[in-house]
Amino acid sequence: MSTLLSQISWSNNIAILSGTKTMEEKEFYIRMCIKNNYSARELNRQLSSGYFYRYMLSKDNNALESTDKTIDEDDIPTTRILDQYSLEFLDLPNNYSEKDLRKSIVSNLKDFILEIGNDFTFLGEEYRVQVGNRDFYIDLLFYNRYLKCLVAFELKVDEFKPEFVSKMNFYLEALDRQEKRIDENPSIGVILCSEKDQAVVEYAMSRNTSPLLVSEYSTKLIDKAILENKVVEIRKMLDNTED
């Protein structure tokens, strides 16, 4: 730990040591700072949004299994697509549309990339793919430098619906046939919804073979205590299972 601490600024040292509880959490944020060269503002944002707990709660996301990369501790936190994203930095009207959401993300792109990971490079909004004689538009398209693949984000302002999966699969097929290079991995899709029923997601994804995930977003900071309790509960369940 002392070796790691020497690689980040004194202000970030203080923020991590005073704003975290366990050694595991402290080391996580220190490695984040080293990898991403966080400013004090960027680090405080990750601490206040409970990024560590959201990262730990996303361990079951399996879209990355389709890539050739092996994830290890030195690659955190940009190699995992989170189960829950905090988009508290968006300036949205009370009753916002998917267009409002997309435009606000693009207007706050630096903060959005801070949230999803610095290995993401933005390629465009309403990215056009042509199939047959029709044009189709992907809400947001990124490239992940570490995973070496295109990542498509489909934005939804309402609850997840099973039909969203087939639409994303269509986009991923179009990207892999038309845009993916020979040396790149298959494209990944992220359906970003305002809420989701986990049972519905599980049924909808049970026969899906594409690297696709369903994530939830909040336009307000998520209570860290709730996230922490979820992590503790899951670990207790795992410990009981092993016993």
Tell me the domain boundaries of the chain.
1-48, 61-242
Q: What is the pTM of this model?
A: 0.85
Which CATH fold would you assign to the domain 61-242? Trna Endonuclease; Chain: A, domain 1 (3.40.1350)
List, for the chain, all residue ranges whose pLDDT scores fall below the cut of 70: 1-2, 59-79, 237-243
Residue 77 is predicted with a pLDDT of 54
Residue 227 is predicted with a pLDDT of 81
Residue 233 is predicted with a pLDDT of 76
Alpha-carbon span 226 to 206, nearest angstrom: 28
Residue 78 is predicted with a pLDDT of 53
Residue 69 is predicted with a pLDDT of 43
Alpha-carbon span 170 to 92, nearest angstrom: 29
Residue 158 is predicted with a pLDDT of 93
Helix pair angle (40-48, 109-116), 10° resolution:
60
Residue 63 is predicted with a pLDDT of 44
Residue 239 is predicted with a pLDDT of 63
3-class state of residue 139 by DSSP: strand
